[in-house]
């Protein structure tokens, strides 16, 4: 995934088509509008319910360059148009896009809609959503414990669902625009991930795309709730020295004690970029005691 932020007026060049290198037989396929299928080199679909994440990483595994570099995913991806197209396509397939407040704060001008990230396919993204009888746009869901959200953010001004703690809700009701729905989900210092996802399903969101950063993803993985991972491997080295540069997961250590294997189910290529799709093995939902394995920062 390209890091999200881009000035609303910045032109996004047209993507060159991806080339399919491998795809597992028997995957769920929705019939994409022909222009999308041509760019993606095939159809795409999801078994429901499905929670899938999208990330771009450098060859040395960096997804976030550190707090002093907002929208660092854009830098990691080099704003590759094919990557932006895949981001848009994955959003166009989703009932809801889930992010943590860290990602919202790091992308001050972004909107998490298909056409914002790849405007050239706006008509076909809309057609796909119409064919699938989805809402015009996926609902943006922002998870925050602190309630520290920038009220002037364009994604909040156009409307979002804010999943937060009781304390966060108290803070937010005073300054968020009325376009936002605030959902208090408990008194604790952090929300229970299974409860957040159950709440989304109760709203009819069965296909959910996570564009959260490493902290929230760590919790989705920790709670055993992530079904699929789309990973763009960007042909660049990011390096690490004194700044904290996270890989895909922060706040959770897995190996050597916990083994989380993944099956490669699709691989595509555009020039030196690889677009990988993995299935994470099904895990039973975590219990109330087992879903606080990450930290919120
Ligand atoms: N390369 C990529 O593909 C990619 C993708 C996404 C993001 N990023 C980058 O990642 C960086 C942001 O990383 P991040 O880890 O901070 O983002 P994040 O995981 O999206 O957001 C973390 C925040 O989410 C909230 N949160 C997480 N778990 C929670 C829980 N259980 N209950 C309540 N709130 C919870 C907390 O917000 P509060 O602090 O408000 O409580 C926490 O600080 C940015 O630089 C962004 O550009 C890169």
Tell me the C-alpha distance between 117 and 73, whole Å. Answer: 13
Nearest CA to ligand 1 atom 5: 213
* CA dist list (Å): 248 to 53, 54, 55, 109, 207: 10, 10, 8, 23, 21
**248 part of a folded domain:** yes
**4 part of a folded domain:** no
The CATH number of residue 237's host domain is 3.40.430.10
Atom of ligand 1 nearest to the CA of 54: 3
- Provide the phi-psi class of 239: left if phi over 0, else alpha when psi is between -120 and 50, else beta: left
Which of 144, 230, 275 gets mutated to test ligand 1 (max ligand atoms within 8 A of its CB)?
Answer: 144
pLDDT given at position 169: 96
**210 part of a folded domain:** yes
The torsion angles phi and psi of 234, rounded to 5 degrees, stand at -90, 135
- Provide the phi-psi class of 62: left if phi over 0, else alpha when psi is between -120 and 50, else beta: beta
Q: Residue 74 belongs to what domain range?
A: 19-279
Whether 283 shows a pLDDT value over 90: the answer reads: no
Atom of ligand 1 nearest to the CA of 5: 47
**110 part of a folded domain:** yes
Q: Give the tens place of pLDDT for each residue, 196-246.
A: 999 999 999 999 999 999 999 999 999 999 999 999 999 999 999 988 899
**295 part of a folded domain:** no
Tell me the C-alpha distance between 14 and 81, whole Å. Answer: 6
**119 part of a folded domain:** yes
Q: Give the tens place of pLDDT for each residue, 119-169.
A: 999 999 999 999 999 999 999 999 999 999 999 999 999 999 999 999 999
The count of structural domains within the chain is: 1
**214 part of a folded domain:** yes
- Residue in the structure block whose two tokens are 């040395």: 60
**284 part of a folded domain:** no
């Amino acid at each position: 995934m390209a890091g999200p932020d881009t000035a609303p007026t910045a032109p996004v060049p047209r993507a060159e088509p991806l080339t399919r290198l491998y795809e597992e037989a028997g995957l769920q396929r929705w019939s994409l509008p022909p222009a999308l299928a041509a760019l993606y080199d095939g159809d795409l679909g999801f078994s429901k319910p499905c929670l899938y994440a999208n990330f771009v990483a450098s060859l040395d595994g960096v997804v976030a360059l550190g707090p002093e570099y907002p929208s660092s995913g854009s830098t990691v991806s080099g704003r590759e148009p094919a990557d932006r197209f895949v981001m848009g396509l994955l959003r166009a397939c989703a009932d809801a896009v889930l992010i943590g407040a860290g990602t919202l704060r790091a992308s001050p001008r972004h909107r998490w809609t298909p056409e914002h990230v790849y405007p050239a396919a706006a008509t076909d993204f809309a057609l796909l959503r119409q064919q699938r009888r989805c809402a015009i746009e996926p609902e943006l869901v922002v998870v925050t414990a602190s309630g520290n959200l920038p009220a002037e953010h364009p994604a909040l001004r156009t409307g979002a669902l804010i999943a937060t703690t009781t304390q966060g809700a108290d803070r937010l009701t005073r300054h968020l625009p009325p376009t936002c729905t605030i959902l208090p989900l408990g008194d604790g210092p952090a929300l229970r991930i299974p409860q957040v996802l159950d709440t989304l399903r109760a709203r009819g969101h069965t296909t959910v795309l996570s564009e959260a950063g490493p902290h929230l993803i760590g919790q989705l993985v920790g709670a055993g709730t992530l079904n699929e991972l789309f990973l763009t491997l960007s042909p660049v080295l990011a390096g690490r020295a004194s700044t904290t540069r996270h890989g895909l997961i922060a706040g959770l250590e897995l190996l050597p004690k916990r083994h989380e294997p993944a099956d490669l189910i699709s691989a595509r290529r555009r020039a030196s970029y690889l677009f990988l799709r993995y299935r994470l093995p099904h895990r039973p939902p975590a219990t109330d005691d087992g879903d606080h394995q990450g930290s919120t920062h």
